[in-house]
Amino acid sequence: MDPLVLIFLTSGLFLGWALGANDASNVFGTAVGTRMITWRTAAIICAVFVILGALISGAGTSQTLGKLGAISALPGAFMTALSAAIAVYAMTKSGLPVSTSQAIVGAIIGWNLFSSNPTDPATLSKILLTWILCPVLAAGIAIVLFKSFQFASKRIKVHMILSDALTRLSLIFAGALGAYALGANNIANVVGVFIPANPFPVFMIGSFEISSTQQLFLLGGLAIALGIFTFSKHVMMTVGDGLGRLSPTSALIAVLSHSIVLLLFSSQNLESWLIEHGLPSLPLVPVSSSQAVVGAIVGITLLQGINAVRWSVLRKIVLGWVLTPIAAATISFIGLFFLQNVFNLAVV
Amino acid sequence: MYKLAIRAYFDNGVCNEFETRLERIHVIESDSDALRREIEKQLYSNTLIPDSRGNVLNLIERVDELLSVYECSLWDLQIEKPQIPKEFHEQFIKLTRMVIKAADEVCLSSRAFFNSPHDVPAYNHKVMLYEKEADMISAELKTAIFSSDIDLSLKLHYREFVEKIDGIADKSEDIADRLAIYAIQRIVY
Protein backbone atom coordinates (compact mmCIF):
# COMPACT_ATOMS: atom_id res chain seq x y z
CA MET A 1 0.00 0.00 0.00
CA ASP A 2 1.23 3.45 -0.90
CA PRO A 3 2.31 5.26 2.32
CA LEU A 4 0.93 8.43 0.74
CA VAL A 5 -2.52 6.90 1.18
CA LEU A 6 -2.13 7.07 4.96
CA ILE A 7 -1.03 10.72 4.78
CA PHE A 8 -4.08 11.56 2.66
CA LEU A 9 -6.31 9.68 5.06
CA THR A 10 -5.15 11.78 8.03
CA SER A 11 -7.55 14.60 7.14
CA GLY A 12 -10.49 12.19 7.35
CA LEU A 13 -9.19 10.76 10.60
CA PHE A 14 -8.77 14.30 11.95
CA LEU A 15 -12.39 14.98 11.03
CA GLY A 16 -13.34 11.69 12.75
CA TRP A 17 -11.44 12.73 15.84
CA ALA A 18 -13.23 16.11 15.87
CA LEU A 19 -16.57 14.33 15.40
CA GLY A 20 -15.83 12.02 18.33
CA ALA A 21 -14.78 14.92 20.54
CA ASN A 22 -17.85 17.02 19.71
CA ASP A 23 -20.71 14.72 18.84
CA ALA A 24 -20.20 12.22 21.68
CA SER A 25 -21.46 15.04 23.88
CA ASN A 26 -24.76 15.02 21.98
CA VAL A 27 -25.19 11.39 22.93
CA PHE A 28 -23.87 11.24 26.48
CA GLY A 29 -23.28 14.90 27.41
CA THR A 30 -26.51 15.39 29.32
CA ALA A 31 -26.16 12.06 31.15
CA VAL A 32 -22.57 12.84 32.17
CA GLY A 33 -23.39 16.49 32.91
CA THR A 34 -26.19 15.51 35.28
CA ARG A 35 -23.81 13.00 36.97
CA MET A 36 -26.11 10.11 36.10
CA ILE A 37 -23.29 8.25 34.32
CA THR A 38 -19.53 8.61 34.81
CA TRP A 39 -17.55 9.93 31.88
CA ARG A 40 -15.47 6.71 31.75
CA THR A 41 -18.56 4.48 31.36
CA ALA A 42 -20.02 6.86 28.77
CA ALA A 43 -16.76 6.97 26.76
CA ILE A 44 -16.40 3.16 26.67
CA ILE A 45 -20.04 2.55 25.64
CA CYS A 46 -19.92 5.37 23.10
CA ALA A 47 -16.66 4.19 21.49
CA VAL A 48 -17.78 0.55 21.20
CA PHE A 49 -21.18 1.37 19.73
CA VAL A 50 -19.88 4.06 17.35
CA ILE A 51 -17.52 1.49 15.81
CA LEU A 52 -20.29 -1.15 15.65
CA GLY A 53 -22.70 1.35 14.04
CA ALA A 54 -20.09 2.37 11.47
CA LEU A 55 -19.22 -1.22 10.56
CA ILE A 56 -22.75 -2.66 10.49
CA SER A 57 -24.93 0.16 9.20
CA GLY A 58 -22.58 2.79 7.79
CA ALA A 59 -23.01 1.97 4.10
CA GLY A 60 -26.40 3.63 3.50
CA THR A 61 -25.47 7.27 4.05
CA SER A 62 -22.09 6.84 2.34
CA GLN A 63 -23.87 6.02 -0.92
CA THR A 64 -25.78 9.32 -0.78
CA LEU A 65 -22.57 11.29 -0.25
CA GLY A 66 -21.02 9.38 -3.16
CA LYS A 67 -23.94 10.46 -5.37
CA LEU A 68 -23.36 14.10 -4.40
CA GLY A 69 -19.76 13.99 -5.62
CA ALA A 70 -17.72 10.89 -6.36
CA ILE A 71 -14.21 12.07 -5.55
CA SER A 72 -12.01 9.52 -7.25
CA ALA A 73 -8.57 11.07 -6.56
CA LEU A 74 -7.10 10.67 -3.09
CA PRO A 75 -5.58 14.20 -2.92
CA GLY A 76 -9.04 15.59 -3.73
CA ALA A 77 -10.63 13.49 -1.01
CA PHE A 78 -7.87 14.60 1.37
CA MET A 79 -8.55 18.28 0.73
CA THR A 80 -12.32 17.81 0.93
CA ALA A 81 -12.09 16.14 4.35
CA LEU A 82 -9.48 18.66 5.50
CA SER A 83 -11.70 21.61 4.46
CA ALA A 84 -14.58 20.11 6.42
CA ALA A 85 -12.29 19.60 9.43
CA ILE A 86 -10.97 23.19 9.20
CA ALA A 87 -14.53 24.54 8.93
CA VAL A 88 -15.55 22.49 11.98
CA TYR A 89 -12.51 23.69 13.91
CA ALA A 90 -12.99 27.37 12.90
CA MET A 91 -16.69 27.36 13.75
CA THR A 92 -16.04 25.69 17.10
CA LYS A 93 -13.34 28.28 17.83
CA SER A 94 -15.75 31.14 17.10
CA GLY A 95 -18.26 29.59 19.46
CA LEU A 96 -20.76 28.64 16.78
CA PRO A 97 -22.39 25.22 16.93
CA VAL A 98 -21.18 23.05 14.13
CA SER A 99 -22.23 19.99 12.18
CA THR A 100 -19.70 17.72 10.51
CA SER A 101 -22.42 16.52 8.13
CA GLN A 102 -22.94 20.03 6.82
CA ALA A 103 -19.23 20.70 6.67
CA ILE A 104 -18.53 17.61 4.53
CA VAL A 105 -21.48 18.31 2.21
CA GLY A 106 -20.25 21.90 1.80
CA ALA A 107 -16.71 20.64 1.11
CA ILE A 108 -17.95 18.15 -1.52
CA ILE A 109 -19.89 20.93 -3.24
CA GLY A 110 -16.65 22.96 -3.17
CA TRP A 111 -14.93 20.03 -4.94
CA ASN A 112 -17.80 19.82 -7.46
CA LEU A 113 -17.48 23.54 -8.19
CA PHE A 114 -13.71 23.29 -8.56
CA SER A 115 -13.81 20.22 -10.77
CA SER A 116 -16.78 21.55 -12.78
CA ASN A 117 -18.55 18.38 -11.80
CA PRO A 118 -22.29 19.11 -11.79
CA THR A 119 -23.86 18.76 -8.35
CA ASP A 120 -26.82 16.43 -8.63
CA PRO A 121 -29.75 18.76 -7.77
CA ALA A 122 -31.95 15.83 -6.70
CA THR A 123 -29.36 14.57 -4.17
CA LEU A 124 -28.56 18.10 -2.98
CA SER A 125 -32.20 19.00 -2.44
CA LYS A 126 -32.68 15.67 -0.66
CA ILE A 127 -29.80 16.54 1.70
CA LEU A 128 -30.97 20.13 2.23
CA LEU A 129 -34.48 18.90 2.96
CA THR A 130 -33.19 16.55 5.66
CA TRP A 131 -31.35 19.42 7.36
CA ILE A 132 -34.73 21.04 7.93
CA LEU A 133 -36.55 17.77 8.49
CA CYS A 134 -34.04 16.39 11.02
CA PRO A 135 -34.50 19.00 13.81
CA VAL A 136 -38.25 19.26 13.11
CA LEU A 137 -38.65 15.48 13.28
CA ALA A 138 -36.50 15.32 16.44
CA ALA A 139 -38.66 18.02 18.04
CA GLY A 140 -41.84 16.14 17.09
CA ILE A 141 -40.55 12.82 18.44
CA ALA A 142 -39.35 14.53 21.64
CA ILE A 143 -42.80 16.10 22.18
CA VAL A 144 -44.56 12.73 21.68
CA LEU A 145 -42.09 10.93 23.98
CA PHE A 146 -42.33 13.67 26.61
CA LYS A 147 -46.13 13.67 26.62
CA SER A 148 -46.19 9.85 26.82
CA PHE A 149 -43.73 9.97 29.71
CA GLN A 150 -45.83 12.58 31.53
CA PHE A 151 -48.95 10.48 30.98
CA ALA A 152 -47.24 7.35 32.31
CA SER A 153 -45.62 9.07 35.31
CA LYS A 154 -49.04 10.30 36.50
CA ARG A 155 -50.41 6.77 36.48
CA ILE A 156 -47.49 4.56 37.42
CA LYS A 157 -46.13 5.20 40.91
CA VAL A 158 -42.41 4.51 40.97
CA HIS A 159 -40.22 5.29 43.97
CA MET A 160 -37.62 7.98 43.44
CA ILE A 161 -34.66 5.62 43.97
CA LEU A 162 -36.09 3.00 41.58
CA SER A 163 -36.91 5.72 39.08
CA ASP A 164 -33.29 6.93 39.40
CA ALA A 165 -31.97 3.44 38.66
CA LEU A 166 -34.34 3.04 35.68
CA THR A 167 -33.35 6.45 34.30
CA ARG A 168 -29.65 5.51 34.54
CA LEU A 169 -30.23 2.22 32.73
CA SER A 170 -32.34 3.97 30.08
CA LEU A 171 -29.68 6.65 29.61
CA ILE A 172 -27.08 3.92 29.03
CA PHE A 173 -29.41 2.14 26.58
CA ALA A 174 -30.37 5.37 24.77
CA GLY A 175 -26.71 6.45 24.75
CA ALA A 176 -25.63 3.12 23.24
CA LEU A 177 -28.38 3.44 20.64
CA GLY A 178 -27.35 7.04 20.00
CA ALA A 179 -23.69 6.07 19.62
CA TYR A 180 -24.64 3.26 17.21
CA ALA A 181 -26.81 5.69 15.23
CA LEU A 182 -24.01 8.27 15.25
CA GLY A 183 -21.54 5.72 13.90
CA ALA A 184 -24.02 4.47 11.29
CA ASN A 185 -25.10 7.90 10.14
CA ASN A 186 -21.95 9.99 10.45
CA ILE A 187 -19.19 7.56 9.40
CA ALA A 188 -19.90 8.73 5.85
CA ASN A 189 -18.77 12.23 6.88
CA VAL A 190 -15.45 10.91 8.12
CA VAL A 191 -14.37 8.46 5.43
CA GLY A 192 -17.18 8.66 2.85
CA VAL A 193 -15.14 10.84 0.46
CA PHE A 194 -12.34 8.24 0.41
CA ILE A 195 -14.60 5.35 -0.67
CA PRO A 196 -14.56 6.06 -4.43
CA ALA A 197 -10.72 6.29 -4.30
CA ASN A 198 -10.71 2.70 -2.92
CA PRO A 199 -7.38 3.08 -1.08
CA PHE A 200 -7.02 -0.35 0.59
CA PRO A 201 -6.60 -3.82 -0.93
CA VAL A 202 -9.15 -6.46 0.07
CA PHE A 203 -8.03 -8.10 3.29
CA MET A 204 -8.75 -11.73 4.17
CA ILE A 205 -9.12 -13.17 7.68
CA GLY A 206 -9.72 -16.89 7.17
CA SER A 207 -12.73 -17.07 4.90
CA PHE A 208 -13.86 -13.53 5.82
CA GLU A 209 -13.29 -10.85 3.25
CA ILE A 210 -12.81 -7.32 4.53
CA SER A 211 -13.35 -4.79 1.76
CA SER A 212 -11.60 -1.46 1.39
CA THR A 213 -14.80 0.31 2.48
CA GLN A 214 -15.08 -1.82 5.63
CA GLN A 215 -11.44 -1.09 6.46
CA LEU A 216 -12.13 2.61 5.98
CA PHE A 217 -15.20 2.40 8.23
CA LEU A 218 -13.18 0.63 10.93
CA LEU A 219 -10.42 3.22 10.71
CA GLY A 220 -12.97 6.05 10.83
CA GLY A 221 -14.74 4.43 13.77
CA LEU A 222 -11.42 4.14 15.62
CA ALA A 223 -10.70 7.83 14.92
CA ILE A 224 -14.11 8.78 16.36
CA ALA A 225 -13.40 6.56 19.39
CA LEU A 226 -10.03 8.29 19.85
CA GLY A 227 -11.80 11.66 19.76
CA ILE A 228 -14.20 10.44 22.43
CA PHE A 229 -11.41 9.23 24.74
CA THR A 230 -9.06 12.16 24.29
CA PHE A 231 -11.22 15.25 24.06
CA SER A 232 -14.88 14.64 24.81
CA LYS A 233 -14.71 14.89 28.62
CA HIS A 234 -14.65 18.69 28.73
CA VAL A 235 -17.32 19.03 26.03
CA MET A 236 -19.58 16.52 27.81
CA MET A 237 -19.23 18.33 31.12
CA THR A 238 -20.12 21.71 29.64
CA VAL A 239 -22.75 20.63 27.14
CA GLY A 240 -25.67 21.86 29.23
CA ASP A 241 -24.38 25.45 29.56
CA GLY A 242 -25.63 26.80 26.23
CA LEU A 243 -29.00 25.14 26.07
CA GLY A 244 -29.86 25.31 29.74
CA ARG A 245 -29.94 22.65 32.41
CA LEU A 246 -31.99 19.57 31.65
CA SER A 247 -33.52 17.15 34.12
CA PRO A 248 -32.27 13.56 33.70
CA THR A 249 -35.69 12.61 32.27
CA SER A 250 -35.61 15.41 29.70
CA ALA A 251 -32.02 14.43 28.91
CA LEU A 252 -33.15 10.86 28.31
CA ILE A 253 -35.96 12.01 26.00
CA ALA A 254 -33.57 14.29 24.08
CA VAL A 255 -31.04 11.47 23.55
CA LEU A 256 -33.76 8.97 22.59
CA SER A 257 -35.29 11.36 20.04
CA HIS A 258 -31.82 12.10 18.64
CA SER A 259 -31.04 8.40 18.32
CA ILE A 260 -34.36 7.59 16.66
CA VAL A 261 -33.93 10.38 14.11
CA LEU A 262 -30.36 9.36 13.28
CA LEU A 263 -31.42 5.73 12.87
CA LEU A 264 -34.37 6.74 10.68
CA PHE A 265 -31.95 8.52 8.35
CA SER A 266 -29.41 5.70 8.22
CA SER A 267 -31.19 2.34 8.42
CA GLN A 268 -31.26 0.57 5.06
CA ASN A 269 -33.48 -2.17 6.55
CA LEU A 270 -36.05 0.39 7.69
CA GLU A 271 -35.97 2.11 4.31
CA SER A 272 -36.64 -1.16 2.45
CA TRP A 273 -39.37 -2.11 4.96
CA LEU A 274 -41.14 1.23 4.42
CA ILE A 275 -40.89 0.91 0.65
CA GLU A 276 -42.17 -2.70 0.79
CA HIS A 277 -45.25 -1.55 2.70
CA GLY A 278 -45.90 1.34 0.35
CA LEU A 279 -45.01 3.94 2.97
CA PRO A 280 -43.01 7.10 2.29
CA SER A 281 -39.37 6.40 3.14
CA LEU A 282 -36.79 8.76 4.55
CA PRO A 283 -33.64 9.38 2.49
CA LEU A 284 -30.43 7.80 3.80
CA VAL A 285 -28.48 10.98 4.41
CA PRO A 286 -25.83 11.86 6.99
CA VAL A 287 -27.74 14.23 9.25
CA SER A 288 -26.31 16.35 12.01
CA SER A 289 -26.34 14.81 15.44
CA SER A 290 -26.21 18.35 16.92
CA GLN A 291 -29.25 19.39 14.87
CA ALA A 292 -31.15 16.36 16.13
CA VAL A 293 -30.33 17.10 19.78
CA VAL A 294 -31.08 20.82 19.43
CA GLY A 295 -34.38 19.99 17.73
CA ALA A 296 -35.31 17.57 20.53
CA ILE A 297 -34.44 20.08 23.27
CA VAL A 298 -36.39 22.86 21.52
CA GLY A 299 -39.34 20.44 21.28
CA ILE A 300 -39.24 19.72 25.02
CA THR A 301 -38.81 23.43 25.84
CA LEU A 302 -41.72 24.41 23.56
CA LEU A 303 -44.01 22.36 25.81
CA GLN A 304 -43.32 24.89 28.57
CA GLY A 305 -44.46 27.71 26.29
CA ILE A 306 -43.10 29.57 23.31
CA ASN A 307 -41.27 32.07 25.54
CA ALA A 308 -39.34 29.33 27.33
CA VAL A 309 -37.16 28.85 24.22
CA ARG A 310 -34.02 30.97 24.23
CA TRP A 311 -34.56 32.37 20.76
CA SER A 312 -31.24 34.29 20.74
CA VAL A 313 -29.31 31.05 21.34
CA LEU A 314 -31.40 29.30 18.69
CA ARG A 315 -30.73 32.10 16.19
CA LYS A 316 -26.99 31.66 16.78
CA ILE A 317 -27.31 27.91 16.28
CA VAL A 318 -29.22 28.35 13.01
CA LEU A 319 -26.63 30.89 11.84
CA GLY A 320 -23.97 28.23 12.48
CA TRP A 321 -25.94 25.74 10.40
CA VAL A 322 -26.12 28.18 7.47
CA LEU A 323 -22.48 29.29 7.67
CA THR A 324 -20.87 25.85 8.07
CA PRO A 325 -21.50 24.46 4.54
CA ILE A 326 -20.68 27.82 2.93
CA ALA A 327 -17.39 28.06 4.84
CA ALA A 328 -16.47 24.44 4.07
CA ALA A 329 -17.25 24.88 0.35
CA THR A 330 -15.10 28.02 0.17
CA ILE A 331 -12.15 26.44 2.01
CA SER A 332 -12.45 23.32 -0.15
CA PHE A 333 -12.43 25.33 -3.38
CA ILE A 334 -9.38 27.41 -2.36
CA GLY A 335 -7.55 24.37 -0.92
CA LEU A 336 -8.09 22.30 -4.07
CA PHE A 337 -6.78 25.20 -6.18
CA PHE A 338 -3.57 25.24 -4.13
CA LEU A 339 -3.19 21.47 -4.15
CA GLN A 340 -3.55 21.33 -7.92
CA ASN A 341 -1.60 24.42 -8.92
CA VAL A 342 1.06 24.67 -6.20
CA PHE A 343 1.68 21.01 -5.33
CA ASN A 344 0.81 19.65 -8.78
CA LEU A 345 -1.43 16.93 -7.37
CA ALA A 346 -4.36 15.46 -9.30
CA VAL A 347 -7.45 16.35 -7.27
CA VAL A 348 -10.06 15.30 -9.81
CA MET B 1 -46.53 8.84 71.71
CA TYR B 2 -46.35 12.64 72.06
CA LYS B 3 -50.08 12.90 72.71
CA LEU B 4 -49.83 10.20 75.41
CA ALA B 5 -46.87 12.00 77.03
CA ILE B 6 -48.80 15.31 77.13
CA ARG B 7 -51.88 13.60 78.52
CA ALA B 8 -49.76 11.84 81.17
CA TYR B 9 -48.24 15.19 82.16
CA PHE B 10 -51.63 16.88 82.55
CA ASP B 11 -52.96 13.89 84.52
CA ASN B 12 -50.01 13.26 86.86
CA GLY B 13 -47.24 15.78 86.13
CA VAL B 14 -43.72 14.39 85.51
CA CYS B 15 -44.68 10.81 86.34
CA ASN B 16 -43.21 7.46 85.28
CA GLU B 17 -45.46 7.23 82.25
CA PHE B 18 -44.37 10.70 81.07
CA GLU B 19 -40.69 9.79 81.59
CA THR B 20 -41.11 6.53 79.63
CA ARG B 21 -42.81 8.32 76.72
CA LEU B 22 -40.14 11.02 76.69
CA GLU B 23 -37.40 8.38 76.75
CA ARG B 24 -39.05 6.60 73.80
CA ILE B 25 -39.25 9.84 71.78
CA HIS B 26 -35.60 10.53 72.64
CA VAL B 27 -34.60 7.09 71.30
CA ILE B 28 -36.60 7.69 68.09
CA GLU B 29 -34.94 11.09 67.67
CA SER B 30 -31.43 9.62 68.16
CA ASP B 31 -32.18 6.79 65.73
CA SER B 32 -33.42 9.29 63.17
CA ASP B 33 -30.15 11.26 63.46
CA ALA B 34 -28.16 8.09 62.76
CA LEU B 35 -30.48 7.24 59.87
CA ARG B 36 -30.11 10.73 58.40
CA ARG B 37 -26.30 10.46 58.46
CA GLU B 38 -26.46 7.01 56.84
CA ILE B 39 -28.79 8.29 54.08
CA GLU B 40 -26.47 11.24 53.43
CA LYS B 41 -23.50 8.86 53.17
CA GLN B 42 -25.35 6.49 50.83
CA LEU B 43 -26.64 9.27 48.59
CA TYR B 44 -23.19 10.78 48.14
CA SER B 45 -21.07 7.62 48.00
CA ASN B 46 -23.36 5.96 45.43
CA THR B 47 -24.08 9.26 43.61
CA LEU B 48 -27.80 8.49 43.82
CA ILE B 49 -30.58 10.84 42.62
CA PRO B 50 -28.12 13.60 41.61
CA ASP B 51 -30.86 16.01 40.52
CA SER B 52 -33.00 15.65 43.68
CA ARG B 53 -30.25 14.93 46.20
CA GLY B 54 -30.20 18.46 47.62
CA ASN B 55 -33.98 18.50 48.02
CA VAL B 56 -34.07 15.08 49.67
CA LEU B 57 -31.30 15.92 52.15
CA ASN B 58 -33.01 19.22 52.97
CA LEU B 59 -36.32 17.43 53.51
CA ILE B 60 -34.74 14.80 55.78
CA GLU B 61 -33.03 17.51 57.81
CA ARG B 62 -36.29 19.41 58.28
CA VAL B 63 -38.26 16.30 59.24
CA ASP B 64 -35.50 15.53 61.74
CA GLU B 65 -35.90 19.07 63.14
CA LEU B 66 -39.64 18.41 63.52
CA LEU B 67 -38.80 15.43 65.75
CA SER B 68 -36.48 17.70 67.75
CA VAL B 69 -39.34 20.19 68.28
CA TYR B 70 -41.44 17.34 69.73
CA GLU B 71 -38.62 16.23 72.01
CA CYS B 72 -37.67 19.77 73.15
CA SER B 73 -41.22 20.67 74.17
CA LEU B 74 -41.39 17.53 76.35
CA TRP B 75 -37.96 18.21 77.82
CA ASP B 76 -39.02 21.73 78.75
CA LEU B 77 -42.07 20.30 80.51
CA GLN B 78 -39.81 17.88 82.39
CA ILE B 79 -37.34 20.59 83.42
CA GLU B 80 -39.66 23.54 84.09
CA LYS B 81 -42.63 21.51 85.38
CA PRO B 82 -45.23 24.29 84.82
CA GLN B 83 -48.31 23.87 87.07
CA ILE B 84 -50.90 24.57 84.38
CA PRO B 85 -54.37 25.12 85.90
CA LYS B 86 -56.96 22.40 85.15
CA GLU B 87 -59.24 24.84 83.27
CA PHE B 88 -56.65 25.03 80.42
CA HIS B 89 -55.91 21.28 80.19
CA GLU B 90 -58.65 20.47 77.69
CA GLN B 91 -57.53 23.30 75.37
CA PHE B 92 -53.90 22.18 75.61
CA ILE B 93 -54.87 18.62 74.69
CA LYS B 94 -57.03 19.89 71.82
CA LEU B 95 -54.05 21.92 70.54
CA THR B 96 -51.78 18.86 70.87
CA ARG B 97 -54.22 16.74 68.87
CA MET B 98 -54.36 19.32 66.09
CA VAL B 99 -50.58 19.83 65.79
CA ILE B 100 -50.10 16.06 65.67
CA LYS B 101 -52.62 15.85 62.81
CA ALA B 102 -50.64 18.50 60.90
CA ALA B 103 -47.37 16.61 61.53
CA ASP B 104 -48.94 13.28 60.48
CA GLU B 105 -50.14 14.78 57.20
CA VAL B 106 -46.73 16.25 56.46
CA CYS B 107 -45.22 12.78 56.97
CA LEU B 108 -47.69 11.37 54.44
CA SER B 109 -46.85 14.24 52.11
CA SER B 110 -43.12 13.45 52.46
CA ARG B 111 -43.78 9.82 51.62
CA ALA B 112 -45.87 10.86 48.60
CA PHE B 113 -42.97 13.04 47.42
CA PHE B 114 -40.89 9.89 46.89
CA ASN B 115 -43.61 7.70 45.37
CA SER B 116 -46.19 9.93 43.73
CA PRO B 117 -45.28 13.64 43.72
CA HIS B 118 -48.62 14.45 42.06
CA ASP B 119 -50.35 13.64 45.39
CA VAL B 120 -48.23 16.04 47.47
CA PRO B 121 -50.54 19.11 47.05
CA ALA B 122 -53.52 17.16 48.45
CA TYR B 123 -51.62 16.26 51.64
CA ASN B 124 -50.17 19.75 51.91
CA HIS B 125 -53.66 21.17 51.75
CA LYS B 126 -54.57 19.16 54.86
CA VAL B 127 -51.38 20.34 56.63
CA MET B 128 -52.37 23.96 56.00
CA LEU B 129 -55.87 23.29 57.26
CA TYR B 130 -54.69 21.70 60.53
CA GLU B 131 -52.04 24.39 61.04
CA LYS B 132 -54.70 27.09 60.70
CA GLU B 133 -56.89 25.24 63.20
CA ALA B 134 -53.94 24.90 65.60
CA ASP B 135 -53.28 28.65 65.29
CA MET B 136 -56.91 29.37 66.16
CA ILE B 137 -56.82 27.08 69.19
CA SER B 138 -53.51 28.54 70.40
CA ALA B 139 -54.90 32.10 70.01
CA GLU B 140 -58.00 31.14 72.01
CA LEU B 141 -55.85 29.44 74.65
CA LYS B 142 -53.53 32.44 74.98
CA THR B 143 -56.54 34.77 75.25
CA ALA B 144 -57.98 32.56 77.97
CA ILE B 145 -54.64 32.46 79.82
CA PHE B 146 -54.22 36.24 79.72
CA SER B 147 -57.85 36.84 80.70
CA SER B 148 -57.45 34.74 83.86
CA ASP B 149 -56.47 36.06 87.29
CA ILE B 150 -53.15 34.26 87.60
CA ASP B 151 -49.83 36.02 88.03
CA LEU B 152 -48.33 37.65 84.90
CA SER B 153 -45.11 35.63 85.20
CA LEU B 154 -47.16 32.42 85.10
CA LYS B 155 -49.20 33.73 82.16
CA LEU B 156 -45.96 34.31 80.24
CA HIS B 157 -44.68 30.90 81.26
CA TYR B 158 -47.85 29.12 80.04
CA ARG B 159 -47.88 31.15 76.83
CA GLU B 160 -44.40 29.86 76.12
CA PHE B 161 -45.69 26.27 76.27
CA VAL B 162 -48.64 27.08 74.02
CA GLU B 163 -46.18 28.45 71.46
CA LYS B 164 -43.87 25.44 71.84
CA ILE B 165 -46.66 22.98 71.10
CA ASP B 166 -48.03 25.16 68.29
CA GLY B 167 -44.45 25.24 66.91
CA ILE B 168 -44.95 21.63 65.77
CA ALA B 169 -47.73 22.72 63.40
CA ASP B 170 -45.67 25.71 62.22
CA LYS B 171 -42.71 23.44 61.49
CA SER B 172 -45.03 21.05 59.62
CA GLU B 173 -46.29 23.94 57.50
CA ASP B 174 -42.70 24.98 56.69
CA ILE B 175 -41.93 21.45 55.52
CA ALA B 176 -45.15 21.35 53.46
CA ASP B 177 -44.17 24.62 51.75
CA ARG B 178 -40.78 23.14 50.83
CA LEU B 179 -42.36 19.89 49.70
CA ALA B 180 -44.69 21.77 47.35
CA ILE B 181 -41.66 23.20 45.49
CA TYR B 182 -39.71 19.92 45.57
CA ALA B 183 -42.72 18.05 44.16
CA ILE B 184 -43.05 20.50 41.25
CA GLN B 185 -39.36 20.02 40.52
CA ARG B 186 -39.81 16.23 40.58
CA ILE B 187 -42.82 16.21 38.30
CA VAL B 188 -41.47 16.08 34.75
CA TYR B 189 -41.19 19.55 33.30
Q: Report CB contact under 8 Å: A34, B49.
A: no
Q: What is the pLDDT along chain B (189 residues), one digit of tens a residue?
A: 888 888 888 888 888 888 888 889 889 988 988 898 999 888 888 778 887 888 899 999 999 999 989 889 999 988 988 888 888 999 999 999 999 999 999 999 999 999 888 889 999 999 999 999 999 999 999 999 999 888 899 999 999 999 999 999 999 999 999 999 998 888 765
Q: Report CB contact under 8 Å: A153, B187.
A: yes
Q: Report CB contact under 8 Å: B48, A158.
A: no
Give the pLDDT of residue A140.
95
- For chain A positions 243-302, those within 8 Å of chain B (CB to CB) are 247-250
* Rounded-to-integer distance, Cα B188 and Cα A218, Å: 40
Q: What is the mean pLDDT of residues A211-226?
A: 89
Q: A249 to chain B: which residues are within 8 Å by CB? A: 188
Q: Which of A150, A160, A304 sits opposite B49 (nearest CB)?
A: A160
* Rounded-to-integer distance, Cα A178 and Cα A125, Å: 26
Residue A162 contacts B where some CB pair is shorter than 8 Å: no
Name the minimum distance, in Å, from the CA of A35 to any CA of chain B. 6
ipTM of this predicted complex?
0.74
Q: Which domain holds residue A133?
A: 3-341
Which residues pair with residue A107 across a beta bridge? none
Give the pLDDT of residue A208.
80
Q: A146 to chain B: which residues are within 8 Å by CB? A: 188
**Nearest-by-CA chain A residue for B39:** A161
Q: What is the mean pLDDT of residues A199-221?
A: 83
Q: Against a cut of 0.80, is the pTM above it?
A: no
Name the minimum distance, in Å, from the CA of A37 to any CA of chain B. 9
**Nearest-by-CA chain A residue for B52:** A160
Does the residue A148 lie in any domain? Answer: yes
Does the residue A348 lie in any domain? Answer: no
Give the pLDDT of residue A212.
83
Percent of chain A with pLDDT over 90: 15
Tens-place pLDDT, residues A22-42? 788 878 887 887 778 888 999
A50-62 per-residue burial string, b: 16 or more CB within 10 A, e: under 16: bbbbbbebbbbbb
Give the pLDDT of residue B189.
54
A/B interface, count of CB pairs below 8 Å: 37
Give the pLDDT of residue A329.
93
Does the residue A125 lie in any domain? Answer: yes
- For chain A positions 131-150, those within 8 Å of chain B (CB to CB) are 146, 149-150
Write out the residues of chain B at the interface with chain A, using a CB-CB cutoff of 8 A: 47-52, 56, 113-116, 118, 186-189
Does the residue A346 lie in any domain? Answer: no
Give the pLDDT of residue A238.
61
Does the residue A187 lie in any domain? Answer: yes
What total of structural domains would you count in chain A? Answer: 1
Query: What backbone phi and psi angles, to 5 degrees, belong to B24?
Result: -65, -45
Better pLDDT: A285 or A43? A43
Does the residue A347 lie in any domain? Answer: no
SS3 state at A205: strand
For residue A284, the 8-state DSSP code is -
Name the minimum distance, in Å, from the CA of A135 to any CA of chain B. 21
Q: A164 to chain B: which residues are within 8 Å by CB? A: 48-49
A154-185 per-residue burial string, b: 16 or more CB within 10 A, e: under 16: eeeebebbebbeebbebbbebbbbbbbbbbbb
Q: B60 to chain A: which residues are within 8 Å by CB? A: none
Q: Which of B47, B114, B188 sits opposite A153 (nearest CB)?
A: B188
Which residue from A94, A137, A158, A135 is spatially nearest to A292, judged by alpha carbons? A135
CB A51 within 8 A of CB A186: no
* Rounded-to-integer distance, Cα A273 and Cα A41, Å: 34
Give the pLDDT of residue A242.
54
Tens-place pLDDT, residues A252-292? 898 899 889 888 888 777 778 888 888 777 778 878 888 88
Name the minimum distance, in Å, from the CA of B27 to any CA of chain A. 27
